[in-house]
Chains A and B, each alone.
Chain A
Amino acid sequence: MEKFFCISIIALGLGNMPAFAWHSGPGEVSDSLVEEEPVFANTLKDLVVNGKSNLEKLQTGALNVTAIDIKPLVNTSATLGDIINRAPGVRVRSEGGKGSDYDLSINGMSGNSIRYFIDGVPLETKGTGVNVTNFPINLIDHIEIYKGVVPASLGGDALGGAINIITSGRKKNYLDASVSAGSYQTYQGDLAGSYTSSHGIIIKPSLSIGYSKNDYTVRGVRVWSEEDDAFVSRDMKRFHDRYFSAVAQMEVGVEKRSWADMFFIGGSWSEVRKDIQTGAVQNVVYGKAERHTSDWSLLLRYRKRNLLTDGLTVNLTASYTNDNSCTIDTAYRKYSWDGSWIPSNRNEISGNSRMMRHYRRPLTVVRVNLDYTLGDWHSLNLNCMVNANGNHRYDDMDASFEPSTDYFTKTILGLTYTQSFASDRLNNTLFIKDYINHVKIGQTDEYWITGSNAMPKSSTKQNIGCGLGSRYSFFDALSVRGSYENTVRLPLARELLGNGTTVYPNLRLHPEKSHNFNIGLFGSVDMGEYGNITYEGDAFYRKIQDYIQAKISEAEGMMQYDNVSNVSMKGCEGQLTYSYGSWLSLSGNVSYQLAMDMNRLKSDGKPSATYRNKVPNKPWLYGNADLTLNFDRMFTKDDGLRFNYLYQYVHWFFLTWEGYGWLETKSRIPTQNMHSASLTYSWKRDQYNVSLECSNIFDSALYDNFMLQKPGRAFTVKFRLYLH
């Protein structure tokens, strides 16, 4: 029952998305776009095509997925993390300004319950220095946010969801370059391109360099006053928070050969240098400590359709990553927020000896994906991902530090069967996953914190997971969907082995397990000349065992991940978007979630007071509102002006358990009201673009975490050149 319709995907109210017709499945790089020329929102006119795009299929499929088109935002200075943070059910809790550490959650699940992929391959293959705060967005076509139920084809062990970054499949020669400058001495330059030689050799270079001094003002920090003979509250500028990031990559390959539809080899390199300004709370201030990350990787990608038989597509990816990080804490100084210091007898972070601690984490990832299509309505997908990670630690300064080497390997097998009936009105997906991990532990220091003495030196564990999803479309205005997954998440290297600075290892961590349920409805109402309304509402329930949560450690003002055992998470989210032609889009979403401690007993076997209490230190009510106006042909026939206003709200929440202790003595993370606006002018069919932005317009003191203030009002100007 094909029909003509207008693709007008509203991505979180960010404007109408350009329409593409994909030929690849979720998690794969598209290599065949209906449009050869990228079209951007401010110049896009509704495109009439025959059939649904794969992007829309994804959003309207059986699983709860939010797809966000990046292209309308390439002209702005938004980072990938900023963009993801606008999606319903998603929160990115940032610890500070540009390049700061962050914690991402989907439907309330811990940020590290979320797996990140780039074209179906773990993002960590780029090295730990590359993340959603510095990944060049001009390389991205769109992102897919899977909530709760993650397709087996991704090969991940995500418990709460996954984010799959799909890079652009632009094939023509192009050059995409941009520079931006903003408040707090923030600069960013991005360069990406593609060149195809006369022999069909494709070269894809990219380079992204960012810097920020992050010297924004922090409100109400403690500064000693001789006059008052007391600490007084002052607004002070951050003075040791510089961040530098350089990410480069190059791919060379060919396409459409007899032996390969696509074959690329490439490499990437990244360098991140970051000052460390504070501990887990901003009252603990540092002035010299730094963290350096230096990574390089080699990558091979291969794809061939109809390899041995019609309908069988093989995708092969192999990578090796040399991931190095070093924490340098050699200055025996005690800093204050006014930048003054006194000589100290200990390092800043842990209060021990001078430290120059190295972490070398070699990572090898091999992914094999076989996709077999049986006619038009059935397909089978077999995915195997092998991930081998090492963790070598040594210290150049601290003689008492014992070097160690830990290994862990995980293999995840996934088999998916997908079927469609009734002209795709009914769509079903079933999958099964096998998680196997192997851990070898060498570190024995601080065993009372890390638990290394309680763990076998070498162990292998296996877990089985499965899931299904179903969607039925009554008509365009009403579709219903439901999905379930019994999933397992193996601890991340950071959770298990720490980060060497602010996160302790916890070798006692168990894999998280969860039963994830989603149910939702969605639809689109075309009101003709009065515009278009799309809506989406979902409810979810998660029953998590051995839930892993980051906690502030009393010991050092540091953090450590721990199994909180049993937690249930339930909630709902909704999004409503109204669009009027191509020039107006108004969108809003609200997310509510309730995480409950479901441990009847404490670790000592006695009843727990927090049983069925709300898990603290988690945002539970938040939302976004977004207005976008597009004005085409402002001054010439191929220019456009785009205005965007974004409002983000996060309701306050308690730092500690609600309902215990006198209310007035309890610490809270206050309500956030953040307003941002941007104005983008493009001309010459998007070849030239200038964007002016203001974030946190009202200069509010914003906190995602207790006593870790985010930047105040910031202005940014960005120029982008896109030659194609």
Chain B
Amino acid sequence: MKKSLIYGIASLAMLAGATACSDSKDDPKDVAGTPQVNDLHFDIFVTLDGAGGMNSQSSILVLSVNSLEDKDAVYDFVNAGTDITASLYEESITKGEYYYMIPRSKDCFGKYQITPEGVKTIQERPFAKNTFKDRRYCHAWTGDNTLVILGSNGDNGSKSDKGEILWTKYDTRNLSIIGEGDLGLNGFKGKDGKEVVYFSTSGLARYRASDNVIVYAFQDKSDETSFYVAFIDADTMKVKNIVNEDRAEFMAGTAYGELLQNKMMVDENDNIYIACNSEMPDAESYTCQYGSLLRINNGQYDFDKSFNAYSGHEGKLVTIDYLGSGKCLCYIQDPKYCGLVASNTEKAGWGSNYNCYYAVLDMASNSLEPVKCNGVNLPYCLGTFAQRSLVVNNKAYIGVNPEHSAPCIYVMDLNTWEVTKGSTIADGYTFDMIRYLGSDK
């Protein structure tokens, strides 16, 4: 009886929009703007002897599991998990049952499955005209089977060449190249009329289905005080418009696209959001940053200048995931909030430290609420090159890497906003990423 009372109170709290913890289950209904898949299962990525991503040299293991919600499950990698170190990267694109990426051989774009027997190559396609650098490209799905990858040509200011943004469009059924070319940005003059020759490595891209446009954010690496967004016709790949945005200095990711981390999101109204960051004024280091969450409204070819949902909040935006109902899950690096420094302008609290936390941002009210379970904030995490959260089938899975306990996953029901503790990753590994796989509904 007492237990039921607690559940009841917790449910009421959830309905009020709070993020508390409960074991109760409501009938799920699809949350608009979030992915829905059949045959859902998850791949857990961990690394040994260090963290993955960036220039990591660690061993990468991948374990496929059917559920992350079993709170008694402890996933260990002793004689378990697929060792992909020799062939694949963590930085990849997933859709359906497949991973897409430029593999370690660097000679192609490939479609793979990670199975208990090893990495299974479904199809590979060597570069034809455009060559991309492994792990340094961004992507946009412009159809169920149409994938566009984009990235700079690698020329960062050599004396004989100029920068350009390349694109290649694949039919993912057989990875045939539908088309490839460049965006014609060679010679592009930036905000002050100065020619941009050194583009950000990958930039960020998302597809806007309502008007068949790829929104591509990029930066002039020689002027990191603002960034640009190009609106590209997804059929012709012609740039329709380019705008400059100086309310933030740069996108939250400029080099690795969204191959590992989610930096952009699209809501149910086809509005596109970009997580951005800027260096703090009077900061001791470039790494001391604060975030901005900017929006490009559906059908528009510029930012909504009235919108900055993260305005007034401290901390650097690391990842964002759309939760529906105008809310998003933010993974934030904020040493001050985590009690490490008195001010975020102090360099000491940044870097590799337990200085990150999860919060739900209500974009309408600009309120930021730390994710709680049983009324207690989720533990602070270490790692800014990880993607431990995902949203699928009306739930948000939130992986944490706490200082004093084993990594584990919390599950947020997006219908009830209840948060429950899910499965645990055995201690000893660096928990980098979870991906979901399944067939699209």
Q: Which of B105, B106, B403 contacts A606 (CB 8 A)?
A: B403
- Is B164's CB under 8 angstroms from A345's CB? yes
CB distance from B131 to the nearest CB of A (A): 4
Q: Which of A281, A334, A352, A663 contacts B79 (CB 8 A)?
A: A663
**Neighbouring A residues of B83 by C-beta, 8 Å:** 656, 660-662, 665-667
Interface segment among A513-521, A537-545, A607-615, A641-649: the answer is A607-615
Does B166 belong to the interface (CB within 8 Å)? yes
CB distance from B84 to the nearest CB of A (A): 8
Complex Cα distance, B86 from A667, in Å, reads 7
- Is B130's CB under 8 angstroms from A345's CB? yes
- Is B156's CB under 8 angstroms from A606's CB? no
Q: Which of A448, A609, A664 contacts B55 (CB 8 A)?
A: A448
Does B387 belong to the interface (CB within 8 Å)? no
- Is B131's CB under 8 angstroms from A344's CB? yes
Complex Cα distance, B428 from A400, in Å, reads 40
The CB with the most chain A CB atoms within 10 A, among B89, B119, B159, B403, is that of: B159
Q: Which of B77, B117, B124, B383 contacts A664 (CB 8 A)?
A: B117
Complex Cα distance, B82 from A655, in Å, reads 14
Chain B interfacial residues counted at CB < 8 A: 70
- Is B156's CB under 8 angstroms from A398's CB? yes
When each residue 123-161 of chain B gets 1 if its CB lies under 8 Å from chain A and 0 otherwise, what string results? Answer: 110111111011110000000000000000111111111
Complex Cα distance, B156 from A556, in Å, reads 16
- Is B85's CB under 8 angstroms from A397's CB? no
Give chain B interface residues in 76-99, CB to chain A under 8 Å. Answer: 77-86, 89
Does A605 belong to the interface (CB within 8 Å)? yes
Give chain B interface residues in 109-124, CB to chain A under 8 Å. Answer: 116-119, 121, 123-124
CB distance from A17 to the nearest CB of B (A): 43
- Is A660's CB under 8 angstroms from B77's CB? yes
- Is B403's CB under 8 angstroms from A605's CB? yes
Complex Cα distance, B58 from A101, in Å, reads 23
When each residue 391-403 of chain A gets 1 if its CB lies under 8 Å from chain B and 0 otherwise, what string results? Answer: 0000001111000
**Known contacts A284-B106, A609-B429; A664/B157 CB under 8 A:** no
Q: Quick one: closest A residue to B91, CB to CB?
A: A554
Complex Cα distance, B159 from A554, in Å, reads 28
**Neighbouring A residues of B130 by C-beta, 8 Å:** 345
Does A379 belong to the interface (CB within 8 Å)? no
Q: How many A-B residue pairs have CB under 8 A?
A: 200
CB distance from A555 to the nearest CB of B (A): 4
Does B382 belong to the interface (CB within 8 Å)? yes
**Neighbouring A residues of B326 by C-beta, 8 Å:** none
Does A231 belong to the interface (CB within 8 Å)? yes
Give chain B interface residues in 40-83, CB to chain A under 8 Å. Answer: 48-52, 54-59, 61, 77-83
Q: Which of B52, B54, B156, B174 contacts A352 (CB 8 A)?
A: B156
Chain A interfacial residues counted at CB < 8 A: 67
Does B246 belong to the interface (CB within 8 Å)? no
Complex Cα distance, B108 from A231, in Å, reads 10
**Neighbouring A residues of B59 by C-beta, 8 Å:** 616, 656-657, 660-661
**Neighbouring A residues of B52 by C-beta, 8 Å:** 554
**Neighbouring B residues of A608 by C-beta, 8 Å:** 49, 428
Q: Which of B48, B61, B79, B159 contacts A399 (CB 8 A)?
A: B159
Interface segment among A146-154, A596-604, A695-703, A711-719: the answer is A596-604
Does A283 belong to the interface (CB within 8 Å)? yes
- Is A660's CB under 8 angstroms from B159's CB? no
Complex Cα distance, B81 from A353, in Å, reads 38
- Is B127's CB under 8 angstroms from A660's CB? no
- Is A346's CB under 8 angstroms from B129's CB? no
CB distance from B416 to the nearest CB of A (A): 32
**Neighbouring B residues of A222 by C-beta, 8 Å:** 105, 107
CB distance from A288 to the nearest CB of B (A): 14
Complex Cα distance, B182 from A343, in Å, reads 14
**Neighbouring A residues of B84 by C-beta, 8 Å:** 665
Give chain B interface residues in 155-189, CB to chain A under 8 Å. Answer: 155-161, 164, 166, 174
Q: Quick one: closest A residue to B114, CB to CB?
A: A665
- Is A347's CB under 8 angstroms from B117's CB? no
Complex Cα distance, B52 from A564, in Å, reads 16
Does A580 belong to the interface (CB within 8 Å)? no
Q: Which of B54, B55, B82, B86 contacts A662 (CB 8 A)?
A: B82
CB distance from B111 to the nearest CB of A (A): 11
Complex Cα distance, B104 from A556, in Å, reads 9
- Is A551's CB under 8 angstroms from B57's CB? yes
- Is B105's CB under 8 angstroms from A283's CB? yes
Give chain A interface residues in 512-558, CB to chain B under 8 Å. Answer: 551-557
The CB with the most chain B CB atoms within 10 A, among A344, A346, A351, A664, is that of: A346
Q: Quick one: closest B residue to A222, CB to CB?
A: B105
CB distance from B381 to the nearest CB of A (A): 10
Complex Cα distance, B125 from A224, in Å, reads 9
Complex Cα distance, B197 from A353, in Å, reads 12
Complex Cα distance, B89 from A603, in Å, reads 21
- Is B107's CB under 8 angstroms from A336's CB? yes
Q: Which of A346, A661, A706 contacts B133 (CB 8 A)?
A: A346
Does B311 belong to the interface (CB within 8 Å)? no
Does B345 belong to the interface (CB within 8 Å)? no
- Is B49's CB under 8 angstroms from A557's CB? no
Complex Cα distance, B248 from A393, in Å, reads 34
Does B24 belong to the interface (CB within 8 Å)? no
Does A422 belong to the interface (CB within 8 Å)? no
- Is B104's CB under 8 angstroms from A353's CB? no
Complex Cα distance, B105 from A346, in Å, reads 16
Complex Cα distance, B155 from A616, in Å, reads 36
Q: Quick one: closest B residue to A284, CB to CB?
A: B106
CB distance from B308 to the nearest CB of A (A): 28
Complex Cα distance, B157 from A541, in Å, reads 51
- Is A602's CB under 8 angstroms from B430's CB? yes
Does B227 belong to the interface (CB within 8 Å)? no
Does A562 belong to the interface (CB within 8 Å)? yes
Complex Cα distance, B107 from A224, in Å, reads 10
Q: Which of B55, B77, B106, B129 contacts A342 (CB 8 A)?
A: B129
- Is B133's CB under 8 angstroms from A351's CB? yes
CB distance from A607 to the nearest CB of B (A): 5
**Known contacts A284-B106, A660-B79; A342/B127 CB under 8 A:** yes
Complex Cα distance, B205 from A191, in Å, reads 63
**Known contacts A400-B198, A605-B403; A655/B85 CB under 8 A:** yes
Does B352 belong to the interface (CB within 8 Å)? yes
When each residue 377-414 of chain A gets 1 if its CB lies under 8 Å from chain B and 0 otherwise, what string results? Answer: 00000000000000000000111100000000000000
Listed A/B pairs (7) with beta-carbon separation below 8 Å = A230-B123, A554-B135, A602-B50, A609-B78, A657-B48, A661-B81, A662-B116
Interface residues, chain A, with chain B CB atoms under 8 Å away: 222, 224, 229-231, 279, 281, 283-285, 332, 334, 336, 342-347, 351-354, 397-400, 448-449, 453, 504, 551-557, 560, 562, 564, 597, 602-611, 616, 655-657, 659-667, 706-707
| 13 additional A-B residue pairs with CB within 8 Å, beyond A332-B161, A554-B135, A605-B403 | A224-B108, A230-B121, A231-B124, A283-B104, A284-B107, A334-B107, A334-B131, A345-B166, A398-B157, A399-B157, A448-B55, A609-B428, A662-B79
Interface residues, chain B, with chain A CB atoms under 8 Å away: 48-52, 54-59, 61, 77-86, 89, 104-108, 116-119, 121, 123-124, 126-131, 133-136, 153-161, 164, 166, 174, 198, 285, 352, 354, 382-383, 401, 403, 426-430
Closest A-B pairs by Cβ, 4 of them: A346-B154, A609-B428, A345-B153, A353-B158
